[in-house]
Amino acid sequence: MSNDVPTDLRYTKSHEWVRVDDEGIATIGITDHAQELLGDLVFVELPEVGSELGAGAECAVVESVKAASDVFSPLTGEVIEVNEVLADAPETINQDAYEDGWIFRIRMADPDELDALMDADSYAEHSESDED
């Protein structure tokens, strides 16, 4: 099965994506592949604005009809915004994982951490090998 993997984003092995703007703000969500594996999402527990996250920290939970999954912060930084839309419409992630379905934004503490993340090609390969 192949899923949408935009080339302008960076990715984690745990299926988060990261979009970085010019001001060092990183927007984070879960990939199209992840939402498809999870199935219909029915609840999202968002991180708290103002909390400080380390790279790899559990910071949110997405729950589908069938399972709960942790979301890990790909980067170190402070949470500056969360996607409140998801509180009432978690299915937004199923519908548009990379745009309207973003989960939280952080102010990056260490932009060098981006180098450790995967590009689209590597992630596409990783997510395919991840299929049963």
Q: By CB under 8 A, name the binding residues for another protein.
A: 13-15, 34, 37-40, 42-43, 45, 61, 63-70, 72, 87, 130, 132
- CA 120 to CA 43: how far, in whole Å? 27
Instruction: Specify burial of residue 33 (Cβ count, 10 A radius: 0-12, 13-18, 19+).
Output: buried
Q: Which C-beta is closer to another protein: that of 39 or that of 111?
A: 39
Q: What is the DSSP letter of 118?
A: B
CA end-to-end span of the chain? 11
Q: How far is the CB of 132 from another protein (least distance, A)?
A: 8
SS3 123: helix
Q: Which C-beta is closer to another protein: that of 25 or that of 94?
A: 94
Q: How far is the CB of 22 from another protein (least distance, A)?
A: 30
Q: How far is the CB of 70 from another protein (least distance, A)?
A: 5
